[in-house]
Structure 1
Amino acid sequence: MVEYMKEIATGDQELSVEERNLLSVAYKNVIGAHRAWWRVVSSCEQKEEQKGKETKIIDDFRQKIEAGLQDICHDILNVLEKHLIPKLEKPSAEATEAAAKDGADPSELSESIVFYYKMKGDYYRYLAEFTTDDKRKEAAEKSLQAYQFASDEATSKLPPTHHIRLGLALNFSVFYYEILNSPERACQLAKQAFDDAIADIDSITEERSKDYALIMQLLRDNLTLWTNNDEPEQA
């Protein structure tokens, strides 16, 4: 599914909402499995090291998983940075004119911008999870830049209850907690998103009520878990 969606994403046309979601799910499923493996193997390696045992076999396996993680992250980041984001930032005159004639909702463009920059932030965050030194610093900086750009766009163009804006706040707060080791900022961001959404609860449509409820619960869970230093949930 990844290769099929990648082929569509690198074509000339902008993705529809359904195609955009399928692309996200395809890569999320692949990266999710690799991240889970990496966490298990890294945990086993640390336990063996603490016992003073040889860990070369585990270390070799971990490095193979990390190589796979890098390939996946760089693959989708290439699609985002060279294809999907440029299409939004430099729309053709014909596309702009056609959208105006069709009465297209300007918020749809903002939604796509937030969606893709959130994805960009996510995958640089994944790189920062297992890389070290300068590579980790670079990945963290690029993740922060992408999340911040998406956050600025979402705050100005999307309602507080919008599922993409909420999902962005969820993952951005996880970035602050896990990558920048800033629990105070993470909690502040998550709580602000939660409170803003509660204040605007009347704007929720029935169609999006389930998405809203799910992400709000994850935000609430993280705010609770972080006080106990447990692993946070992500969108």
Structure 2
Amino acid sequence: MADREHLVYQAKLAEQAERYDEMVESMKSVAGKDTELTVEERNLLSVAYKNVIGARRASWRIISSIEQKEESKGGEGKLKMIREYRQAVENELKSVCSDILDVLDKHLIPAANTGESKVFYYKMKGDYDRYLAEFATGNDRKEAAENSLVAYKAASDIAMIELPPTHPIRLGLALNFSVFYYEILNSPDRACRLAKAAFDDAIAELDTLSEDSYKDSTLIMQLLRDNLTLWTSDTQTAFVLQGEEQNKTALQDAEDEKQ
């Protein structure tokens, strides 16, 4: 078995065993070969990092929620412990984000030869800078938000030319970019405009949707519509997205929803 083939199979085994840190290491080795990844390899890399970062993002949200509750009680003794724990999780988040952003900048983006892969990687870059901005403060948050915006714009510029409006990667980009505007830049108007334009453009060309991508594309279109409903609704409390509580899931990105 060739080295690359061996690494890919190792990553698949790690995925089945839910050992995502090891899956990341295998796919990082593949990415380090500085050649264009196949669609399968690209997806394996994305899934690996998505699971590693996803677990830590979930932990951070839970700890932050506990911290807020404790602050309202004025429990200083527990707060010190909670904040130290949150800081430890934030350090892990920084490490994972820095790791994949380094792989993207040094290997994946320079080796990308197709419009599809370029959009995929710039979108990924935007996503991981967005994850940094979720918990960063001050200049660190500003820098992460700016980097995310630049990456999402680069992905959008290529997507508009290279990918049809119904392409799942273009739709996923619109979903995540609109969440960035809503959550990170606190700009609901721009978030809604972006999401609505992507949804309307896809609806207009729905008859061109290939059988292969039908399920993925229509799922993301539903998420775009659901977020639009949430963002423009005056009565948000009853809103439910994908069978879960809206406040936990409505602003999740496409990858999170498809796990």
Provide TM-score, normalisation by structure 2. 0.82
Residue in 2 that maps onto 1:98: none
Cα contact 2:129–2:148 (8 A) shared by 1: yes
What stretches of structure 1 of length at least 5 have no aligned partner?
A: 92-108
Separation of aligned partners in 2, 1:194 and 1:86:
31
**Out of 105, 109, 134, which is 1:85 matched to?**
109
Q: Shift of the alpha carbon at 1:209?
A: 0.6
Spell out, residue by residue over 1:192-225, the C-alpha distance to the aligned partner (whole angstroms, 9 max, x if none): 0000000000110111110011101111111112
Separation of aligned partners in 2, 1:114 and 1:207:
19
Task: Look up the SS of the partner of 1:122 in the other structure.
Answer: helix
What aligned pairs does 1:55-70 form with structure 2 within 5 A after superposition? 55-70=79-94
Separation of aligned partners in 2, 1:32 and 1:141:
22
1:151 to 2:156 alignment:
yes
Separation of aligned partners in 1, 2:99 and 2:251:
26
Provide TM-score, normalisation by structure 1. 0.90
Residue in 2 that maps onto 1:133: 138
Q: Tell me which amino acid in the other structure corresponds to 1:73.
A: C
What stretches of structure 2 of length at least 5 have no aligned partner?
A: 1-22, 238-246, 255-259
Cα contact 2:130–2:184 (8 A) shared by 1: yes
203-212 vs 111-120, greater mean Cα deviation: 203-212
Q: CA RMSD in A?
A: 1.1
Q: Tell me which amino acid in the other structure corresponds to 1:232.
A: L
Residue in 1 that maps onto 2:16: none
The runs of at least 4 consecutive aligned structure 1 residues that moved more than 3 Å come to: none
Cα contact 1:222–1:233 (8 A) shared by 2: no
Report the count of equivalent residues. 216
Separation of aligned partners in 1, 2:162 and 2:218:
21
What aligned pairs does 1:27-46 form with structure 2 within 5 A after superposition? 27-46=49-68
Cα contact 1:225–1:232 (8 A) shared by 2: no
Q: Tell me which amino acid in the other structure corresponds to 2:81.
A: I
Separation of aligned partners in 1, 2:51 and 2:134:
17
Residue in 2 that maps onto 1:190: 195
Spell out, residue by residue over 1:55-104, the C-alpha distance to the aligned partner (whole angstroms, 9 max, x if none): 0111011000000000000000000001111123xx7xxxxxxxxxxxxx
Q: Shift of the alpha carbon at 1:233?
A: 3.1
Task: Look up the SS of the partner of 1:68 in the other structure.
Answer: helix
